């Protein structure tokens, strides 16, 4: 019997994100339309207040597979699934949700991507592999200059609240993609639930964005579908149920995720593979979605080499081909240089690691970022108050 990863590679099909139709970037504009602003509401009813609860790592396929561990969530009507965009990784997805634009427009194009001659780690807002705080040098509001959907809502007179971990307040990523309104820091599930409920309770139009991180964390550490992950899914299910129980009658709760997750055990190590290093200046992205930046004039050679090394274990294309095929959606001219000269999307159980610059994420079993349905699809669950 062949290894599991080989069988999965053959079965994998590419799912290009459905920007403008059923993508995560379409969600907040739809919620604003339900609150009375111009736009397409994606079937959401007119409401006075709305809460969007994003569960990091809540993939559509994982929720269906482990429905018994999340009976409340699995029992809700699913208006999706949505595709999250490429790469299917948290900073990109939060930017797509927060701005209402696809990655090519907002420019947050990878877990790390090139700005100038170095890679920006978008979670830490430091150079990749370094510790220098770059918020003063690479100002988040300039790296992602478009107004967020939260800012647009606030300008329209909607009371906006972000409810997320206390340590994320004022971070580079938060400033870049979720700025606007009041930030309410949380410590645990209890104050996350209470914060969302209080944010949509009271007079006037209100919008709340709530974020829960731990399902993704346990998926990375233990693997999706493991017992720790399933126990956390049950906690998430109770969180959503508690919020739903306390919704005002004229409020809607929308629950979604930022990506799914797969187990990845087939490893290609860029740091020790001479062929993968040849004519390469920088390697950004994450283990399932790589931006490869080449030396001048070496794109064709690097493309051919990475295709030969990775074979059927990844989709390997030029940056131009990735743009033309719509992986990032329409790409704004200032953002084009952030896309790799070669772009890699993993298949099956493949991960392309860089232990030197990314020691923590490289060894993890649970991964995401690519164009498979397991990573791309997230639910769109709707609860009406009352």
Residue 45: CB atoms within 10 Å: 10
Percent helix, strand, coil in the chain (nearest 5)?
A: 40, 25, 40
pLDDT, position 121: 98
pLDDT, position 220: 97
Which sequence spans correspond to the domains of the chain?
A: 12-261+371-384, 266-367
**pLDDT tens figures, 73-125:** 999 999 999 999 999 999 999 999 999 999 999 999 999 999 999 999 999 99
pLDDT of 126 higher than 50? yes
Summary mean pLDDT of the chain: 95
pLDDT of 6 higher than 60? no
Residue 68: CB atoms within 10 Å: 10
12-261+371-384 maps to which CATH number? 3.40.720.10
pLDDT, position 386: 78
The token pair that represents 46 in the structure block: 């007119």
**What is the C-alpha separation between 119 and 338, in angstroms, rounded?**
9
Q: Binning pLDDT at 50, 70 and 90, where does residue 12 land?
A: confident
Q: Binning pLDDT at 50, 70 and 90, where does residue 161 land?
A: very high
**pLDDT tens figures, 223-256:** 999 999 999 999 999 999 999 999 999 999 999 9
**pLDDT tens figures, 218-228:** 999 999 999 99
Q: How far is CA 260 from CA 60, 136, 142, 379, in A?
A: 7, 33, 29, 10
**What is the C-alpha separation between 40 and 38, in angstroms, rounded?**
7
pLDDT of 9 higher than 80? no
Q: How far is CA 105 from CA 45, 121, 191, 332, in A?
A: 28, 19, 34, 5
Percent of the chain predicted with pLDDT > 70: 97
Q: Binning pLDDT at 50, 70 and 90, where does residue 273 land?
A: very high
For range 161-171, the mean pLDDT: 97
Q: 3-state class of 375 per DSSP?
A: helix
**What is the C-alpha separation between 267 and 287, in angstroms, rounded?**
9
266-367 maps to which CATH number? 3.30.1360.180
pLDDT of 208 higher than 90? yes
The two beta strands, 350-353 and 289-294, are unpaired
**What is the C-alpha separation between 24 and 196, in angstroms, rounded?**
20
Percent of the chain predicted with pLDDT > 90: 96
**pLDDT tens figures, 137-156:** 999 999 999 999 999 999 99
- CA angle, 188 as apex, 215 and 361 as ends, to 5°? 35
> What is the model's pTM?
0.95
pLDDT of 281 higher than 80? yes
**pLDDT tens figures, 327-372:** 999 999 999 999 999 999 999 999 999 999 999 999 999 999 999 9
CA dihedral 212, 375, 288, 112 (to 10 degrees): -40
């Amino acid at each position: 019997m062949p290894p599991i990863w080989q069988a999965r590679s053959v079965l994998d099909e590419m799912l290009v994100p459905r920007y403008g139709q059923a993508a995560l970037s379409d969600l907040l504009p739809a919620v604003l339309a339900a609150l009375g602003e111009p736009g397409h509401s994606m079937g959401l009813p007119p409401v006075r207040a709305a809460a969007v609860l994003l569960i990091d790592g809540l993939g559509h396929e994982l929720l269906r597979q482990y429905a018994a561990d999340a009976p409340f969530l699995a029992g809700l009507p699913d208006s999706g699934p949505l595709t999250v965009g490429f790469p299917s990784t948290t900073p990109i997805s939060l930017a797509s949700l927060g701005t209402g634009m696809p990655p090519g427009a907002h420019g947050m194009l990878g877990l790390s991507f090139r700005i100038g001659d170095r890679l920006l780690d978008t979670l830490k807002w430091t150079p990749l592999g370094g510790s220098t705080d770059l918020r003063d040098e690479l100002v988040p509001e300039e790296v992602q200059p478009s107004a967020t959907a939260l800012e647009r809502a606030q300008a329209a007179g909607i009371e906006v609240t972000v409810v997320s971990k206390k340590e994320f307040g004022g971070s580079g990523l938060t400033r870049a993609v979720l700025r606007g309104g009041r930030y309410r820091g949380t410590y645990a599930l209890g104050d996350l639930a209470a914060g969302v409920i209080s944010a949509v309770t009271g007079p006037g139009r209100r919008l709340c964005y709530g974020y829960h991180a731990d399902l993704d964390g346990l998926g990375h550490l233990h693997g999706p579908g493991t017992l720790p992950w399933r126990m956390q899914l049950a906690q998430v299910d109770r969180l959503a149920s508690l919020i739903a129980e306390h919704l005002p009658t004229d409020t809607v709760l929308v629950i979604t995720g930022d990506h799914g997750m797969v187990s990845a055990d087939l490893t290609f190590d860029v740091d020790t593979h001479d062929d993968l290093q040849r004519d390469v200046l920088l390697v950004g992205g994450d283990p399932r979605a790589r931006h490869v930046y080449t030396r001048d004039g070496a794109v064709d050679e690097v493309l051919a080499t990475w295709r030969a090394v990775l074979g059927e274990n990844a989709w390997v294309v030029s940056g131009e081909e990735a743009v033309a095929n719509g992986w990032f959606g329409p790409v704004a001219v200032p953002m084009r240089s952030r896309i790799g000269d070669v772009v890699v999307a993993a298949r099956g159980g493949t991960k392309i690691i860089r232990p030197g610059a990314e020691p923590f994420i490289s060894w993890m079993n649970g991964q995401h970022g690519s164009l498979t349905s397991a990573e791309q699809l997230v639910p769109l669950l709707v609860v009406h108050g009352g």
